[in-house]
Amino acid sequence: MNPLAQQLNTTLDTSVVGRVLSQVGRRMFFPKGIVAQAAEASAKAHRFNATVGMAVGKGQPITLPSLEKQLPSLNTKEAVAYAPTGGFPALRQAWEQQILQKNPSLKQGDFTLPMVIPGLTAGIFHAEELFLDPGDEVLIADMFWGNYRLIIEGRREAKIKSFAYFSPDRRFNVAGFAEALKDAASRLKKLMVILNFPNNPSGYTPTKDDAAAMARILGETADAGLDLVVVCDDAYFGLFFEEDCETESLFAKLAQAHEKILAVKVDGATKEDLVWGFRVGFMTYAAKGLSPDQHTALLQKTMGTIRSSVSSSPGISQSLLLKTMNSPTYQQEKDEFFQVMKERYLRVKTLLEGPEAQAARDILVPLPFNSGYFMSFACQGIDAEQLRLNLLDEGVGTIAIGTEYLRIAFSSIDSEDMEPLFQTIFQAARRLAG
């Protein structure tokens, strides 16, 4: 094993991080190679800097004039230069402040500086690579984003264990969650848990009471001796449309909850700032008792997995995002977008109480939803995939999740188009049911 990796492991081995690292995670380190030497040169090479493989003229990256014309607000360094492996420091600090503002129960120092990653998918992947070995278990509610399976089972050869997302009273299934954790604690030494709120595909976020209960149950599970890696997939964070939604990330409740809980926050600008193709996400870590040196060592491990896979996140996206976040109208613009999304949500809620929905209620049962981009129907007596195909024939695109559920992204439909969309869905379902 590389001596740098060994040194990081020695720093981390007295903490939960050392116990939950995968074999890949234990081998990871950030090399003192080209990138590290170039960073040192940027600070000290005041005469000539012949380190980075970029074409430079008069101290600025050389770029095509036709490209420069498309980016009048950026200089060439902001537009085309390599970003540091962990992301631009100014953007990382700005996102840290965003996390603190959105999660008032957190305070600075409770968590690491966020690390920039190329989208939230990369964050999930890096978490799995650092903390999962083949055969390890990952606990996820049964309503989950399909890409988890590809990453966890396809890439890491780990095992997904699931519990029912909803309880009989149509809330988050706290009892099922507790039972699944109790079972894991009786068999395992470590467990990864992935929590995705607002949820894709259901569009449901637990209530404040349920979120508090989940945090308590996780703490009790850690007390029982199980090391936990809790990944908070906050892809749709902030889009909460009902008063009783928990509006803080569960990361905030777990950051300093227990020495045996490593909390991992995976979030980003993708949905929060409406820049889906920018591929700018963030990974942030916290565990009770971690020292500043251990924070640094964990970030070095993460930089190793970034460097050895995608090298770094796009610099141009980071530059544009930082300028956007620094705009004096940034928050106002986000508030206006939230109102657009809430209006669409409320329109769907109204339509689901209408006569067309009631006539199809024995076939299409709406699952609870209160947040995010989506709502889903449970299909009863009909096949969701067949319904999806029938709707395609009518020019309507939806997503089938197996044979049981049909997901509707109301985020992508104007409010005035909701009624004809849902009428078409209800009518197609009734025809399919005969």
pLDDT tens-digit readout, 394-405: 999 999 999 999
Which pair of tokens denotes residue 369? 């939803």
Q: In the predicted model, what is the mean pLDDT of residues 159-175? A: 95
Q: Are 213 and 175 in contact (CB under 8 A)?
A: no
User: What pLDDT, on the 0 to 100 scale, is given for residue 68?
Assistant: 82
> Residue 389: pLDDT band by 50, 70, 90 thresholds?
very high
> Residue 32: pLDDT band by 50, 70, 90 thresholds?
confident
Q: Give domain limits for the chain.
A: 3-30+85-325, 331-433
Beta partners for residue 233, in sequence order: 196, 266
pTM, full prediction: 0.93
pLDDT tens-digit readout, 105-149: 999 999 999 999 999 999 999 999 999 999 999 999 999 999 999
Q: Are 400 and 385 in contact (CB under 8 A)?
A: yes
Q: Are 351 and 186 in contact (CB under 8 A)?
A: no
**Alpha-carbon torsion angle 40, 44, 46, 48, nearest 10:** -40
User: Does the pLDDT of residue 296 top 90, yes or no?
Assistant: yes
User: What pLDDT, on the 0 to 100 scale, is given for residue 58?
Assistant: 75
Q: Are 228 and 188 in contact (CB under 8 A)?
A: no
pLDDT tens-digit readout, 319-366: 999 999 999 999 999 999 999 999 999 999 999 999 999 989 999 999
Q: Which CATH architecture has domain 331-433?
A: Alpha-Beta Complex (3.90)
- Token pair 């902001």 is found at 78
Burial 194-231 (b: 16+ CB within 10 A, else e): bbbbbbbbbbbbbbeebbebbbebbbebbeeebbbbbb
User: Does the pLDDT of residue 380 top 80, yes or no?
Assistant: yes
Q: Which of 288, 200, 293 is nearest to 251 (CA)?
A: 288
3-30+85-325 carries CATH number 3.30.870.10? no
d(CA 2, CA 251): 32
